Amino acid sequence: GAAGCVATLLHDAAMNPAEVVKQRMQMYNSPYQRVTDCVRTVWRNEGAGAFYRSYTTQLTMNIPFQAIHFMTYEFLQEQLNPHRQYNPSSHMVSGACAGAVAAAATTPLDVCKTLLNTQESLALSSNISGHITGMANAFRTVYQVGGVTAYFRGVQARVIYQMPSTAIAWSVYEFFKYILTKRQEERWAGK
């Protein structure tokens, strides 16, 4: 558990700036043509903190995402593969479904993270300070701009993205676990 927490902290610390740049370049009418242009402009106009504005939201999203993801995978494996044998189809189905459930459940956090990263003009115009800082401020702003349904904008795209990703990840994990376990058993049997 501790290793997973530390890994998430370090992973998100390294990836959060890249996510900010990616999302700003994906915005409709984005003023950025190149990654370097985006990084320079954000750094100059908003400072280094802009690259980490959504860091706590990212962490807050990843913890429940991973918890839901692993619990759903384990539950589905118990239903589809109760003897826990190597079964690629059960690993793919369980992985895809686990990713879908976790993605759907954490979409409101992802919407808030995206708003923190992009500082979208429509949301900024509804925000008194003109700048969205922190998860609580992002949650309020999302609600002010679009109501409850705004928290689930893009849920289908997020689920569609996560399903193959988590299906592949679990399949590869289970494959290598099977191969490594089989080799180890063969070595023990050979002694």
Mean pLDDT over each residue of the chain, to the nearest integer:
88
Q: Which of 113-122, 136-145, 164-173 has the highest mean pLDDT?
A: 164-173
Residue 129 has pLDDT above 70, yes or no: no
Q: Widest CA span of the chain, in angstroms?
A: 73
Residue 126 has pLDDT above 80, yes or no: no
More confident residue, 111 or 60: 111
CATH number at residue 2: 1.50.40.10
pLDDT tens for 134-164 read 888 889 889 988 899 999 999 999 999 999 9
Per-residue pLDDT at 128: 53
Q: Identify the domain containing residue 26 by its residue range.
A: 1-190
Please tell me the total count of domains within the chain. Answer: 1
Per-residue pLDDT at 120: 73
Residue 108 has pLDDT above 90, yes or no: yes
Residue 106 has pLDDT above 90, yes or no: yes
More confident residue, 118 or 139: 139
The whole-angstrom separation of Cα 54 and Cα 185 is 46
The whole-angstrom separation of Cα 70 and Cα 141 is 31
Put simply, whether the predicted model's pTM sits higher than 0.95 gets the answer no
Estimate to the nearest angstrom the gap between the alpha carbon of 183 and the chain centroid.
Answer: 34
Per-residue pLDDT at 89: 96
pLDDT tens for 19-29 read 899 989 988 78
Residue 1 has pLDDT above 60, yes or no: no
Grade residue 11 by pLDDT with cuts at 50, 70 and 90: confident
